[in-house]
């Protein structure tokens, strides 16, 4: 999301119309916006902290300023009839909460490892404020990303210094954990389960980042060689996918064992593979991110599945309804299928009708449990 204000300024009328709240029927008629009949549905928005995209607006704000910004976002979410926030708690291998496993985030205080002053726990604050408004709070993690080049100085609190054997430097100054090292799985699993145990979150959420985009050249020769020498028989590509699959399956089981009511959801890239279905072209996450998203859905490892369907209805090579229909057909375990919508860009480039039409399409495909998550 570029900023939550795009949703507020440009999409308020539409979202309010779809939610059956705040905007009156007469005002919607004046705006020329059609009001579809709304059922109870999952209506969520992503709140990104990486790069200070949504919150906080910049590193180093005071506690009072951070809390004021958070309340403003949640007040808007509630006013628009949304009922869930997907809050990014681990933008890198860092934390937007008190953790003994990873350092405080640079995006919070301007220095990795530095706690907010005066002290408070942002995740506790977000959970309590969301629940006070009747809003679910899903904790959003990036399982492997270590840092971007613009994330301040590397200091001794960073996993780059603490566990250098687990990380790899990519081109452009980006760092990534090596999914092929079993210790990476253990670390990320422990970090996520720590939040499940200690916080009253309603869900655990991943987006589309597994192996990095352009991951074909990921520098994992050490772990790949170790796998082969141990008797492993998979191809390198299948081995990479298996590394990710092991984390997904273990989390699916671990979350339910710890707190059965906590949902586990993933929002993968919207295209599984080009040619599925036949009219679709575009990026191949199966061989680019080593993400077998169809497998996760068909194994039932997720409670909800949010393919990022960021394209218009009439864009034939990546058509929204064609892709959603395909995902619906392969959803053989009947998991909640709530597409991700690029609301900000859609409003800017396609107009309000496109947003309404996509939500109506989603409701038509999944009438028994509709939902959508908005990226702005």
Six token digits for residue 56: 């906080």
Query: Furthest-apart CA pair in the chain: how many Å?
Result: 70
Domain at 4-375, CATH from 3.90.1300.10, 3.20.20.80, 3.20.190.10, 1.20.1250.20: 3.20.20.80
Q: Which of 151-165, 231-245, 267-281 comes out lowest in average pLDDT? A: 151-165
Token look-up 């100085």 returns 153
H or E stretch at 238: helix 236-258
pLDDT-based confidence at residue 23 (cuts at 50, 70, 90): very low
Left, alpha or beta for 160 (phi > 0: left; psi -120 to 50: alpha)? alpha
- Residue 46, strand partner residues: 86
Asked, as a colleague might, if the bond just before 277 is cis with ω within 30 of 0, I would say yes
Name the CA radius of gyration of the chain, rounded: 20
Question: For 141-196, what is each residue's pLDDT tens digit?
Answer: 999 999 987 777 899 999 999 999 999 999 888 999 999 999 999 999 999 999 99
Q: Among candidates 336, 18, 363, 6, which has minimal Cα distance to 203?
A: 336
What does the chain come to in residues?
Answer: 376
User: 7 falls in which pLDDT band (50, 70, 90)?
Assistant: low
Strand partners, 375: 342
Query: Which pLDDT band, with edges at 50, 70 and 90, does 220 fall under?
Result: very high
Contact 79, 86 (CB under 8 A): no
What's the pTM? Answer: 0.92
CB of 356 closer than 8 Å to CB of 36: yes
Cβ contacts of residue 344 below 8 Å, gap of 6+?
1, 2, 3, 6, 7, 10, 11, 375, 376
Non-local (6+) Cβ contacts of 95 within 8 A are 89, 101, 102, 103, 104, 105
| Cβ atoms of 281 and 311 closer than 8 Å | no
- Nearest-angstrom CA–CA distance, 236 and 216: 10
pLDDT at 248 over 60: yes
Q: Which helix (H) or strand (E) holds 45?
A: strand 42-47
**Mean of the pLDDT values across residues 117-123?**
98
d(CA 241, CA 68): 42
Measured CA to CA, the distance from residue 150 to residue 78 in angstroms comes to 33
Q: How far is the C-alpha of 167 from the C-alpha of 65, rounded, in Å?
A: 34
- 326 backbone φψ class: left, alpha, beta (φ>0; ψ -120 to 50): alpha
What is the structure's pLDDT at 1?
37
């Amino acid at each position: 999301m570029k900023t939550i204000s795009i949703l507020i300024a440009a999409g308020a009328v539409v979202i309010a119309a779809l939610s059956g709240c705040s905007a009156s029927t007469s005002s919607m008629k004046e705006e020329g916006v059609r009001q579809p009949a709304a059922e109870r549905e999952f209506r969520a928005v992503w709140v990104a902290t990486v790069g200070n995209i949504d919150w906080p607006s910049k590193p180093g704000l005071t506690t009072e300023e951070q809390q004021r910004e958070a309340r403003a976002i949640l007040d808007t979410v509630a006013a628009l009839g949304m009922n869930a926030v997907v809050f990014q708690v681990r933008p890198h291998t860092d934390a937007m909460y008190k953790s003994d496993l990873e350092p405080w985030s640079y995006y919070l205080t301007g220095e990795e490892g530095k706690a907010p002053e005066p002290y408070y726990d942002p995740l506790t604050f977000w959970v309590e404020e969301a629940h006070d408004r009747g809003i679910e709070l899903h904790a959003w993690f990036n399982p492997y990303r270590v840092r971007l080049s613009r994330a301040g100085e590397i200091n001794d609190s960073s996993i780059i210094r603490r566990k250098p054997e687990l990380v790899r430097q990519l081109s452009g100054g980006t760092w990534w954990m090596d999914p092929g090292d079993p210790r990476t799985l253990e670390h990320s699993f422990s970090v996520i389960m720590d939040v499940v145990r200690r916080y009253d979150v309603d869900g655990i959420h991943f987006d589309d980042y597994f192996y990095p985009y352009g991951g074909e050249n990921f520098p994992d020769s050490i772990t790949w060689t170790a796998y082969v020498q141990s008797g492993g028989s998979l191809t390198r590509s299948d081995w990479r996918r298996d590394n990710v699959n092991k984390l997904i399956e273990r989390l699916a089981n671990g979350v339910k064992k710890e707190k059965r009511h906590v949902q586990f959801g993933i929002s993968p890239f919207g295209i599984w593979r080009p040619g599925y279905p036949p009219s679709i072209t575009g990026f191949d996450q199966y061989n680019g991110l080593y993400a077998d998203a169809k497998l996760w859905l068909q194994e039932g490892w997720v409670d909800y599945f949010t393919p990022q369907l960021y394209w218009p209805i009439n864009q034939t090579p990546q058509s929204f309804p064609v892709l959603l229909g395909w995902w619906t057909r392969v959803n053989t375990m009947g998991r909640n299928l709530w597409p991700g919508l690029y609301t900000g860009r859609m409003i800017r480039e396609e107009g309000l009708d496109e947003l309404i039409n996509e939500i109506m399409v989603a409701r038509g495909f999944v009438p028994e449990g509709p939902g959508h998550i908005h990226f702005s």
